[in-house]
Structure 1
Amino acid sequence: MSYDHKAVIEAQYNRLAAERAQAVYEYEAGRTAEDEYTTMDAAGRILELDAKAAALDKVASNLLTQMQQPRGNAYGLSDDEVTIAKGISGGDDRLTNEDRLKIYAQQKEKLRYQRATGQYRDDQGMRR
């Protein structure tokens, strides 16, 4: 049985919130008792937990984006990209709008792959 992504992320948020609450309690207890080690240790854990929570926010945001269904086309293109794609080879009657969308999506994926592998860099031609 596989786990639901939403349930995993919620469990992680709950775990981080509980750990942060404990760290805040220890921070305040250490501060009140004037215990430098406890105070600084708890403060460090609070920072680490906040960083983990920010990273989890990014994961949740990326997951939400991936899970959203494409609107209006089978290739996951935005409305602006669909408009651009439909303008490709506008004078060629042999290409249907579906063909144009497919070509645009293929080229978009090719560019994404080339950027990821370093075959294409966005800073080419720039002076440094």
Structure 2
Amino acid sequence: MTSHQSAQTMKPATAAKKLGVYLEATPTEFQEGVVSRTELAALQSDPPQWLQDLRSTGPHPRPVVAAKLGISISGLARGGVTDALTTEQIDALKQDDPEWLRKERATQAEVRKETVRIKERNAERSGKAQEPRS
């Protein structure tokens, strides 16, 4: 008996997420089809023009918007940003530097500092745990 392996495929939403693009802005044939792992790898290694354009000008999905602004996705929601934004809109937000964005950036900076502190503490603890006892 021979086993027949079919190519693994994913929904367009999953592929768009892996590519870091906003699904609704992708071409119709991408949105309506399925994407194999091979096709995804090809899109990542040699992106077509539409993918290059989406990555450079958007609209960008919320995780990308949050990263470009230096805040969390929750911070976007607290700031009232619920839709995908273009690079131009993101740059305008950075330029305007509203109070909510400054606050969210400060919050994110504190979260990062705390994460580093905990990581260092855990590394120190694991180092002590490995020391031989006399």
The TM-score with structure 2 as length reference comes to 0.31
Bigger radius of gyration, 1 or 2? 1
TM-score for the superposition, normalised by structure 1:
0.32
